[in-house]
Amino acid sequence: MLFYVVLLLLGAGAYYYHFRINRKKIIERLEKVVQRKRDDLLKNIDEARRISDKLDSKRRDYIGNLDFEQLKEELQKGSVTCVEAVRTYFHKAILAHEKTNAVTCFILEAEQQAEELDEKAKLASFVKPPMFGIPLSLKECLKVKGYDTTRGFVQDAYRPSTEDSIQIEHYKKLGLIPFCQTNVPQSLLSYNCSNPLFGTTTNPFDSTRTCGGSSGGEGALIGAKGSLIGIGTDVGGSVRIPCHFTGIAGIKPSKMRFAHRGGGTSVPGKPLVDANEGIMAQNVTSNVELLRSVWVDIDFQSDRDPYCPPVHWNESLYSSEKKLRIGYYIDDGWFTPTPALQRAVLESKKHLENAGHTVIPFHPPRLTDVIQLYFRALFLDGGQFILNKLMNDIIEPTITFQRTLCTVPAWIQRLLSYPVSLVFPRLGMFMKSLTRNTFELREAYAAIEAYREEYVSLMLKDDLDVILCPPSIMPAPQHDVPSKLLCGASYTFIYNLLDFGAGSFSNRPSKTVKPFPGVVPVTTVNKSDEEKLINEYPETDKWYQITKKATIGSIGMPIGVQVAAPPFREETVLRTMREIEIAVTGKLEK
């Protein structure tokens, strides 16, 4: 018996030694890739700066001070050229990048695309497309011909896409000019924004706090005025959380409203956690303008992707004067938000009631089950895909929890969950999330379908059009906090599980940055919020303690709200968001 024990120990030791040697070689090789990539980015920025400097600084400042509607109008009239717009936003994005580290690459061909559009505009027969000449920033994971989509993995650097995705083709057809790519967290499965390839992207209003994720680079860039409008992706709040953290507006449509053929995702093959591209912009109006243009012309995508139904923009839903019935909640029963988040919802409720809408309490059912179902469907292989990627890469320290979740086998997590539940019930419940076999996976899919039925039935029972709720549990925290509070995204990933259209928007801190015209001032954290946080916020477990500590000192940070509705009712979501925007800004643009 002793012989076999010794043999087993020797075998384990040999395996571990081999593993460590192999990991060391991988890291040494990838560190060279990181250095090369960062050197290339510096050269890329220098070239973008050279291009931007071709434009007179006074002219550049004039164009840079135009909001989305104003720039769109001047491009249509021809008083601003496409080349001028691109050069201006190269400059503005460089300034934003120097502040936040948001950009992973400038798309230098943008100047050539702009020149070609300007030449076409000289022809009498040319009809300018609706988004003619508008510079568009893109999350790094979106496929652009000739550019990487690493998702923060060093191993995927220098593997450029061979063609544009259908979505990017469509944006170009509408006249938009992709001009830069923006940073993401490694794996995309986090609501911070850091990876070993490009480093950490910071919040434009406090560099010690995160800009959110996984579309964090977009949030930081737009929040720092380096872009008017951009495209992110969202599998659990990746558009909505950065919007809330950085004081901008965005929406995640339901999955089938965009084409997906040829696209990418964080974890392939997860059919019932629905991800989609989403718009992120300075205000709600800009979201409306772009989505209206895309969905009026949705046949472009449907013709290229038969799984994308040709559902066109429904102006009657957006422009309707019929009063809505809205359900709201300030606590989902799983994770109580900090006081400022609750106040923002209640203030928005009052705005909507003042507009004549009916707003009633709504209670999302069974959030504990939702947590388990979401992570079971997201890590449908028990986390093996992500673990394999991480083990062949330099691992980003701020995703420690995700790495642990994927590393510890599901059966061990289940076993440990029982004693853990005695002292930390929520963590114990979470440790039962990963599926152990295909039987449990099938049960999870069936349970997700049943939950969708239950949720929609509750909305139909009360004749509700949309739901109003917080977009998060807290304002932007420090960079390491999201990994410790992965379950704090319950307010957003429920609407991926349901495949609802959902949007979020918030206010810029006026004490640090002059508000950009048209940005929705829902609210910011105030002194009263902090006092309530200190005196009343629960500390019943480690997660609440981390949340409370992370939120202290966030006075002045942006606070948003979230609006959600069932699939193909995104126009109603946008209408509701816009009505809150009108109530708090007084701006009546269409």
* Catalytic residue IDs: 139, 214, 238
In angstroms, the CA 443 to CA 257 distance is 27
Q: Which amino acid is at 492?
A: T
If we measure between CA atoms, which residue out of 113, 149, 143 comes closest to residue 131?
113
CA distances from 469 to 167, 287, 331, 486 (A): 29, 20, 8, 19
Contacts of 153 (CB under 8 A, 6+ apart): 186, 187, 195, 197, 389, 393
Cis-peptide into 214, omega within 30 deg: yes
Contact (Cβ atoms closer than 8 angstroms) between residue 393 and residue 366: no
What six digits make up the tokens of 250? 């965005």
Question: Which residues belong to the annotated binding site for substrate?
Answer: 188, 214, 235-238
Tell me 325's DSSP state.
Answer: E
**CA distances from residue 157 to 13, 40, 147, 218 in whole angstroms, order as listed:** 33, 12, 9, 20
d(CA 391, CA 380): 18
Q: Say which residues have a Cβ less than 8 Å from residue 164's Cβ, sequence separation at least 6.
A: 143, 144, 145, 172
Look at the chain and count its residues.
Answer: 590
Phi, psi of 571 (to 5 degrees): -65, -35
Residue 233 pairs with which residues in a beta bridge?
277
Strand partners, 289: none
Burial environment of residue 130 by CB neighbours within 10 A (0 to 12, 13 to 18, 19 or more): middle
Reduce the DSSP state of residue 211 to 3 states and report it: coil
Token representation of residue 189: 């499965």
Tokens of 502: 């959902």
Residue 493 one-letter amino acid? F
Question: In 10 A of CB 219, how many CB atoms?
Answer: 38
